[in-house]
């Protein structure tokens, strides 16, 4: 199980940190499951590379990364992008 942080590719802002989902930590086994946790009304699929069509970037975060509560904090977003592992580029398909 892992902690995932999802960044919206268009806005550049964090949209979900599974370490604080409704005040509770949620450990997830798959980046697509994390996307469904964010919005279950859509279907998602992996994009092969970072393309303009990729809607989300999903990072796997270690415990030493602070819990993201301020979703637009530029220094925290930079920390995520440099210190966390990019594990998936995801497209919203419906």
Residue-level pLDDT at 54: 84
CA distance 44 to 62: 24
* In the predicted structure, residue 84 carries a pLDDT above the cut 90: yes
Residue-level pLDDT at 94: 86
Residue-level pLDDT at 34: 96
SS3 70: coil
CA distance 92 to 90: 7
Residue-level pLDDT at 71: 86
Mean pLDDT confidence for 76-90:
95
Cβ-count burial 27-56 (b if 16+ within 10 Å, e if not): ebeebbebbebbeeeeebeebeeeeeebbb
pLDDT in tens, 18-73: 999 988 999 898 999 999 999 999 999 998 776 667 899 999 999 899 999 888 98
């Amino acid at each position: 199980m892992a902690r995932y942080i999802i960044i919206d590719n268009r806005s550049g802002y964090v949209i979900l940190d599974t370490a604080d989902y409704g005040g509770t930590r949620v450990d997830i086994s798959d980046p697509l499951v994390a996307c469904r946790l964010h919005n279950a009304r859509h279907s998602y699929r992996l994009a092969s590379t970072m393309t303009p069509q990729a809607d989300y970037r999903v990072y796997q975060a270690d415990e030493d990364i602070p819990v993201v509560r301020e979703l637009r904090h530029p220094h925290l977003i930079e920390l995520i992008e440099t210190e966390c592992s990019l594990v998936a580029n995801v497209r919203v398909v419906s």
